[in-house]
Chain A
Amino acid sequence: MKKTFTINISGTVFHIEEDAYEVLQKYLVNLKNHFGNDEEGKEIVADIEARIAEIFSEKSSDDKKVITIEWVNDVIEMMGTPEDFADDEVVEEPLTAEAKRKRRLYRDPDHRVLGGVCGGLGAYFNMDPVILRIIFVVIFLITGGAALLAYLILWIAVPKALTTAQRLEMRGQEATVKNIEKSIKEEVNEVKESYKKFKESDTYSKGKKSMEGAGDVVYNVFKVILKIFVIIIGVILIISGFFGILGLVSSMVVGQSFVDGWPLIWGPEIHGFGVFNHFVDPGTVTFGLIAIGLLAGIPLLAMLFIGTKLVFRYKTNNAAIGLTMVGVWLIALVALITVSASQVGNYKSRSSMTTSQTISCDSCQTLYLKLAEDKYEDYAEKDWEIENFKVVVVNGDEVMLGQPRLDIEKSGNDNFSILIKKSSRGRNRENAKESAQDVIYNYQLSDSTLLFDPYFIIEEGGKWRDQAVDITIKVPEGKAVYLGDDMVKVIHDIENVSNTWDGDMVGKYWEMKPEGLTMKEISK
């Protein structure tokens, strides 16, 4: 059982099955689009319809009365589709239709090198595509990947001009400022007219009609405003989307130096991705970067896409593209959350290991604590946000340095001794202990002088796990220490009787008395 419709083709009434009706209607709409909407086009379509009516009446003069899909397909085969005519119309295209058609952006399959994007843009802007291609290559060289990305987006998003109608649209009315102005002016006139009508309709106050009139005026005013608005928004979206992607790509690929070097280009500055290498494995870095790139890039792509759509008005499968974008964005989000969660796990437990050494210096009454020379002062330092840590580049390798902390306590026996406690965080205790073992810290003892390295080093390839080195000097009662001026960098909250600040403790002698560390007056 099938539903049938009653239709009127060229003055003759037919019964047609539902599926046949759909095919026929689509075919006739195609024809109309192909031949255009002017007098000539209408006449051609009318002639074809008349012929179709004739064929159908011949067929239905037998006992069968209903048009089936087979008949429709037969007719289409006989009459041919717009694509068939297009082959025969290579030379001439109706010029009259060209002037009236509004331009749409298509990819031009006849003038293409890659995807026909430049060819289509050339048709749209009425420029030689060669010039566009040269401009494109120049932009590509300047911006790195961004221009290529823009090209790919257009390639995917902009449809190819297949039918004659599309080819005509591709070269239709120029989208110059003048033409946009013209179309807006036309709309404004329309507004004026409908307002005039509304005024003249003397039913200023009452009745349904005036309501409709007012509705028309409001509608038309709204339409004009909306149109201008849409174009402005579109342009803004294109510009911000493009520069956003430019900024994103350049900061991801070349790092921050690139963006800094291009102060004219606006873009979200994403700094120092290289820093991540000190926290997580390289594989995870790449993975995370891709996720971040997608997370930030997809909204920018969407901006660019919507912007070009608003300005150039081309047709696409919006739902598919939109869903894909949302889908990929969500996947990137989930991936990033997963990665972050697993990374946070790396800091779960803390473990430490302590080494102690007794300083055999029976004769000395005073131990001199001094800081060794800063070997890394002259090396380039990288941007780094974590307190007490820094990263320097030595012969192209990045070395991570941390600042040790020094405290002074009372010794339980008669000897000076030094305690070095290295600690670190990790996934579990074992893991944390391994990290702690990878911390290198050196000091030197010569006579009564202890020379401390200003930094501890995290072994090459090691990751930042909040490592720390705590140095404790045990001072027996009755003996003293001298804090060198440089020591201000490493001493940390040393308890003393007079509650003197760390900064004021250096350059002075301190004696360990039963009540605690006491400042010794210089009695020389």
Chain B
Amino acid sequence: MKIENAKAQMRKGVLEYCILLVLNGKPLYASDIIKSLKEAKMIVVEGTLYPLLTRLKNDGLLAYRWEESTQGPPRKYYELTDTGRQFLGELEGSWGELVDAVEKVRKSREK
């Protein structure tokens, strides 16, 4: 149970970063985001994504617009806001630092 918890927390921390990454460049709608995240095995159930998208949107990192779809209801297309892009830049920096730090720790143990 504890291990599961740690894993979930790790994934959760990285998940927001991944969503921003996926949305960097072009606007996507939820199914696209889900597809890329599922391929990367970042999420298991789709339901996890929607609360995160809403929260990121409410925090001003994401914005969305409605687009008509040929096959079904209109879709919400999410894109990064300026704040989002800035935040993503910061995250990339700290992610790099994190990966470096972990690598260093691992290497020092292997010696």
Contact = CB atoms under 8 A, between A and B. Distances in A.
A80 B44 contact: yes
A152 to B, nearest CB: 27
B54 A79 contact: no
Contact of B46 (A61, A78, A87): A78
A44 B44 CA distance: 18
B47 A91 contact: no
A58 B69 CA distance: 12
A12 B12 contact: no
B48 A84 contact: yes
B76 A88 contact: no
Interface in A7-28: 10-12
Interface in B48-80: 48, 50-51, 53-55, 58, 71-76
Interface stretch (A45-53, A348-356, A360-368, A462-470): A45-53
A197 B75 CA distance: 43
Nearest to A91: B9
Interface in B13-64: 30-31, 44-48, 50-51, 53-55, 58
A48 B44 contact: no
Nearest to B4: A87
A85 interface: yes
Interface in A482-499: none
A126 interface: no
Nearest to A43: B54
Nearest to A75: B46
B8 interface: yes
Contacts, number: 78
A50 B71 contact: no
A80 B71 contact: no
A48 B50 contact: yes
Interface in A69-92: 77-81, 84-85, 87-91
Given A80-B48, A85-B45, A58 B71 contact: yes
A460 interface: no
Interface string A51-70: 10110011001000000000
Given A54-B72, A78-B45, A91-B12, A35 B31 contact: no
A365 to B, nearest CB: 102
Q: Is the interface of B mostly helix, strand, loop or mixed?
A: helix
A11 B72 CA distance: 9
A484 B55 CA distance: 104
A258 B72 CA distance: 76
B108 interface: no
A43 B56 CA distance: 13
Interface in A32-48: 35, 40, 43-44, 47-48
Contact of A54 (B11, B58, B73): B73
Interface in A85-135: 85, 87-91
Interface string A223-250: 0000000000000000000000000000
B31 A54 contact: yes
A31 B48 CA distance: 12
B50 A44 contact: yes
B31 to A, nearest CB: 7
Q: Which of B50, B54, B55, B74 has the most CB of A within 10 A?
A: B50
A80 B30 contact: no
A85 B54 CA distance: 15
Q: Which of B12, B45, B75 has the most CB of A within 10 A?
A: B45
Given A40-B58, A79-B46, A35 B73 contact: no
B73 A61 contact: no
Nearest to B38: A78
B107 to A, nearest CB: 30
A65 to B, nearest CB: 14
B54 A47 contact: yes
Contact of B51 (A11, A35, A50): A35
Contacts of A43: 54
Given A44-B51, A44-B54, A90-B8, A84 B44 contact: yes
Nearest to A77: B45
A47 B73 CA distance: 11
Given A51-B46, A54-B31, A89-B51, 19 more contacts: A11-B73, A11-B74, A12-B72, A40-B55, A47-B30, A47-B50, A48-B47, A53-B73, A57-B73, A58-B71, A61-B71, A80-B47, A84-B47, A85-B45, A85-B48, A87-B4, A87-B8, A88-B12, A88-B48
19 contacts: A11-B74, A12-B73, A31-B47, A44-B54, A47-B54, A51-B31, A51-B46, A54-B73, A57-B71, A58-B72, A80-B46, A80-B47, A84-B48, A85-B51, A87-B4, A87-B5, A89-B12, A90-B5, A90-B9
